[in-house]
Structure 1
Amino acid sequence: MTNWRPDPQQLRRPAYLSLAEQIANAIHDGKLVHGTRLPTHRKLAEDLKLSIQTVSRAYDELIRRGMISGEIGRGSFVQTAQKEPEPPYLPERLGEVIDLSILKPVCEQIHLDRMREAFAWLGENLPSSSALSFRPNMVFPRHRSVAVEWLSVCGLDVSPLNVNLTNGATSAMTVALMSVAPPGSTVVAEAISHHTLVPLSSYLGIHLAGIAIDSDGMLPEALDAACREGPVRAVFLQPSVVNPTATLMSAERREQLAAVAARHDIAIIENDILGPLVADRPPPLQSFAPERTLYVTSFTKITVPGLRIGYLVAPDRFVAAVANRHLVSNWMATPAIAEIATRWVSNGTAMELVNWQRRALARRHAIATEALGGLSYRAHPQSLHVWLPLTAAHTEEGFVAQARLHGVAIAPGASFQTAEHGRAPAVRISLGSTSEAELRTGLGTVASLAQGNPEALLLAI
């Protein structure tokens, strides 16, 4: 903590809050700068003649405020206010930019037609409960029963009582994290994970730690080591292609990770938003550890972006927590959209669009194979993107900037990073966010840049 130390004479009750305020003021005043390593809980407790629990509560409070971060096995560090994280996509499409940065399904006229038909049907058939009720239990019993049908296609065997309808996967992720990890606790994830997970954990006051991965996903021995080094409440996993590296985790690896989670009694949050789109996939993690897995799936990435509805499956031990946190954060999913999702599952439209998407992606991957020929990249036949590692000649930031100057937007790998070190430069390229012609042009530009020698940009002044 450099030369600055808290003054024990200035501590007031409650002591943990007074201590947190002293450290916060020192950070604001510049006496503690970004990256400063704070004393261990035990050392500071001894110096100030406080209990370890008091110091721990003070550090937890500062983590909640986003002023310090805790790293398993390393300690606690000052984290001065940073700008809001930039999303891995353009806020809007500008000029002639080909936007390959945002992850979208392929969409054509059929998707608009199906949505228009659904809203026309809804105009004639909207139940009074969906329009007039404030009580989720009055609106969603029928929807939960139909959800079980869809979840069975995803590989789950669950009761309607364990299903919550949410406004998409982001809502479900937020509720799941709130349900298993209180502020100040630690959640671990793959070293390259969901781009909203880092800021979301920060906003919830949760410490997020990245775990090493290989070509099959998270390493079980690395997860086990992290759980042994410090208390971990949950592990967040994306085993089925939607992860940035487009990895389809093997059944054996899923079973191994489930066993580690059981050994340390931690929760699993499984993000499986592509669901049945991924052909011949292994069983979900939830099937290996149903007693501890919170399973998330949705329709946005596999049917129509506007169908913002998802399912969050919670085991019995978390059902009450999930219901309560969903109520305070969302109250309930939008009933009218839930009506459309339920109808589409029941009449086959959802699966029709999934099969359509699979065929469209096959064409997009053929374009990628041709355009990126000669480059080493990661993909899966049903992935909505490719992951392109960069050679040592390129910096990630410079490559993304050069692509943007050439009229193509791509997502930097740093947007998905949860671990501070050990990640090779790479970019994520969406295959579904534009037309096939623009995709071919955009991928051709990226390939030319990747195969060329980077040069510094000269600006006329």
Structure 2
Amino acid sequence: MTKWQPDPALLRRPVYISLADQFTAAIKSGRLAAGGKLPAHRDLAYDLKVSIQTVSKAYDILARRGLVSGEVGRGTYVKPGGPALQSPYIAERLANVIDLSIVTPVCTAMQLDRMKAALHRLGDTIPPAAVLSFRPNTIFARHNEAVVSWLSGLGVEAAPQNVLLTNGASSAFTVALMSAAGPGAILAAEEICYHVIRPLADYLGIRVRAIAADADGMLPEALEEACFREEVRVVTLQPNLANPTAILMPEDRRRAIAEVARKHDITIIETDVFGPLLSDRPQPLAALAPERTIYITGFTKVAVPGLRIGYVAAPDHFAATIANRQLMANWMATPIMAEIATLWLGDGTMDALVGWQRETLRARHRIVAESLGKASCRAHPEGLHVWLPLPPDHDELAFVSQARARGVAVAPSTPFCLSGLPAGAVRLSVGATEAEELRAGLDILASLLRAAPDRSVLSI
């Protein structure tokens, strides 16, 4: 049996979720190693002074998260090979919960009406190749040409033949990473970064190195120090409103990162899914170091969640490789999605949707300022999320559990932390719910921040 035990002082209602969160953090940080045996249900219930049912429900959550497996007659063990992907958000829609855990644009009937209109229009005008062709190169040439002007507006100059369409930015990041780094290569990322990076790299056999960051993003000197220690092959960055920290990297920091990349011959993967929302954005890394930057953007976060289309703009020497990786992994993007995106790029709908989103988010951030008041948080008035550091006396797992018990779901920091240890902060979405629900949820969080941390042991 492992020597690690949950801390009863950190248990909060609902206790089974709080207990599962403690085990999750211990597994991700290595305090509970692969193959380690969890305490027997009855023993742990006795030690923590909770019911056996509470322990059973916590273990069930761990199993659903892909972290443990149970063997009849032998007990429950930590799965080998590292933890499965841990989503910081609630996967399913729950009743009576104000869900601020998932980053999504503000959506109304207007977006649905625009999508319906596009589908009706395509019903009469859709090219036969979009439905009948099995060959990507017969479908996407005109779509590549259509997006070049959009990319130019974001500061990225790309030739149509160097642009690849994918089923969203996540798919784009996968093929970019597969192209830029092989098994055993070293990928540098900020110590708090997008939660998919670590598990995806693990699946591909790529080693990840956490690079220190400050309020302006990754520290160039920390990246260079990592390069002196070992051969860093790729660095991945989200300089525009990084997920989850909401950092907008200033241009001088971007230039310094680009210089380190040139000096050590590092490929840059720049993900820019929030960039189109910014009315005033610094130059992208793809403009500062175009010869080594693979640039990724899309429309899911800035227009309509269901428009699953992403774009990869690559230097000449990467374009063919990325196209081949796309063929192997996905074959091609969904043509209907490409048709809608190209239609909207051409008739002004995309500009209108992004502009509406930008203005709506400004109003949402006024609600954030009113509700959270003097709370120290990081946000941008045109961004989709807020990074809220917790006061030193508030335990992150306890805060998340307390918020959930009060009917508010927030994203903990742990899935974003390459160390697996909580950063003492939570991510809040400002677009995932109605404005009044957002206000109500933020008011609840503000009351929890003002209250003294509850360290009583609770059970169900």
| TM-score, structure 2 as length reference | 0.82
Equivalent residue letter for 2:367: I
Q: Which has the higher contact order (CA 8 A, sep 6+)?
A: 2
- For 2:234 and 2:459, how far apart are their aligned partners in 1? 52
* Stretch moving more, 349-358 or 423-432: 423-432
Number of the residue aligned with 1:234: 234
Q: CA deviation at 1:34?
A: 5.5
Helix, strand or coil at the partner of 1:362: helix
- For 2:195 and 2:385, how far apart are their aligned partners in 1? 14
Helix, strand or coil at the partner of 2:232: coil
Report if the CA contact (8 A) 1:272-1:295 is conserved. yes
- For 2:363 and 2:387, how far apart are their aligned partners in 1? 17
Helix, strand or coil at the partner of 1:391: coil
Report if the CA contact (8 A) 2:165-2:311 is conserved. yes
Map 1:361-372; keep pairs closer than 5 Å: 361-372=361-372
Q: CA deviation at 1:184?
A: 1.5
Q: 1:367 to 1:449 in 2, by over 3 A?
A: same
- For 1:34 and 1:160, how far apart are their aligned partners in 2? 47
CA offsets 1:219-275 (integer angstroms, 9 cap, x no match): 000000111111111000000014311111111111110010011101000000123
- For 2:450 and 2:456, how far apart are their aligned partners in 1? 17
- For 1:293 and 1:455, how far apart are their aligned partners in 2? 48
Helix, strand or coil at the partner of 1:182: coil
Q: Which runs of 5+ in 1 are unaligned?
A: 1-32, 36-78
* Stretch moving more, 437-446 or 86-95: 86-95
Report if the CA contact (8 A) 2:414-2:420 is conserved. no
Number of the residue aligned with 1:88: 88
- Counting aligned pairs with the same residue, the percent is 54
Q: CA deviation at 1:447?
A: 0.9
Report if the CA contact (8 A) 1:167-1:333 is conserved. yes
Number of the residue aligned with 1:447: 446
Map 1:139-178; keep pairs closer than 5 Å: 139-178=139-178
- For 1:459 and 1:266, how far apart are their aligned partners in 2? 50
Report if the CA contact (8 A) 1:361-1:382 is conserved. yes
Number of the residue aligned with 2:47: none
- For 2:98 and 2:376, how far apart are their aligned partners in 1? 22
CA offsets 1:291-315 (integer angstroms, 9 cap, x no match): 1100000000000001010110110
Number of the residue aligned with 2:289: 289
Number of the residue aligned with 2:52: none
CA offsets 1:317-338 (integer angstroms, 9 cap, x no match): 1112101100000111000110
Number of the residue aligned with 2:72: none
Helix, strand or coil at the partner of 1:433: coil
CA offsets 1:395-423 (integer angstroms, 9 cap, x no match): 111111111111000001112112457x7
Q: 1:351 to 1:300 in 2, by over 3 A?
A: same
* Stretch moving more, 362-371 or 244-253: 244-253
Number of the residue aligned with 1:342: 342
Map 1:273-422; keep pairs closer than 5 Å: 273-419=273-419
- For 1:440 and 1:406, how far apart are their aligned partners in 2? 14
Number of the residue aligned with 2:436: 437
Number of the residue aligned with 2:28: none
Number of the residue aligned with 2:138: 138
CA offsets 1:340-398 (integer angstroms, 9 cap, x no match): 00010011100100000011001100000000002111000111011000111111111
Report if the CA contact (8 A) 1:379-1:385 is conserved. yes
Number of the residue aligned with 1:428: 427
- For 1:93 and 1:171, how far apart are their aligned partners in 2? 24
Report if the CA contact (8 A) 2:372-2:443 is conserved. yes
Report if the CA contact (8 A) 1:244-1:416 is conserved. yes
- For 1:388 and 1:275, how far apart are their aligned partners in 2? 21
Q: CA deviation at 1:456?
A: 3.0
CA offsets 1:45-104 (integer angstroms, 9 cap, x no match): xxxxxxxxxxxxxxxxxxxxxxxxxxxxxxxxxx94344232111111212011000000
- For 1:299 and 1:239, how far apart are their aligned partners in 2? 17
- For 1:225 and 1:419, how far apart are their aligned partners in 2? 18
| TM-score, structure 1 as length reference | 0.82
Number of the residue aligned with 2:114: 114
Q: 1:129 to 1:395 in 2, by over 3 A?
A: same
* Stretch moving more, 272-281 or 381-390: 272-281
Number of the residue aligned with 1:198: 198
- For 1:81 and 1:199, how far apart are their aligned partners in 2? 11
Report if the CA contact (8 A) 1:411-1:429 is conserved. yes
Report if the CA contact (8 A) 2:235-2:268 is conserved. yes
Report if the CA contact (8 A) 1:241-1:382 is conserved. no
Q: 1:410 to 1:460 in 2, by over 3 A?
A: closer
Number of the residue aligned with 2:39: none
Q: CA deviation at 1:450?
A: 1.3
Helix, strand or coil at the partner of 2:129: helix
Number of the residue aligned with 1:73: none
Helix, strand or coil at the partner of 2:235: strand
Report if the CA contact (8 A) 1:209-1:419 is conserved. no
Number of the residue aligned with 2:129: 129
Report if the CA contact (8 A) 1:155-1:284 is conserved. yes
Map 1:174-253; keep pairs closer than 5 Å: 174-253=174-253
Helix, strand or coil at the partner of 1:233: strand
Helix, strand or coil at the partner of 2:380: coil
- For 2:282 and 2:243, how far apart are their aligned partners in 1? 15
Helix, strand or coil at the partner of 2:156: coil
- For 2:379 and 2:274, how far apart are their aligned partners in 1? 14
Report if the CA contact (8 A) 2:238-2:270 is conserved. yes
Helix, strand or coil at the partner of 1:276: helix
Q: CA deviation at 1:424?
A: 3.7
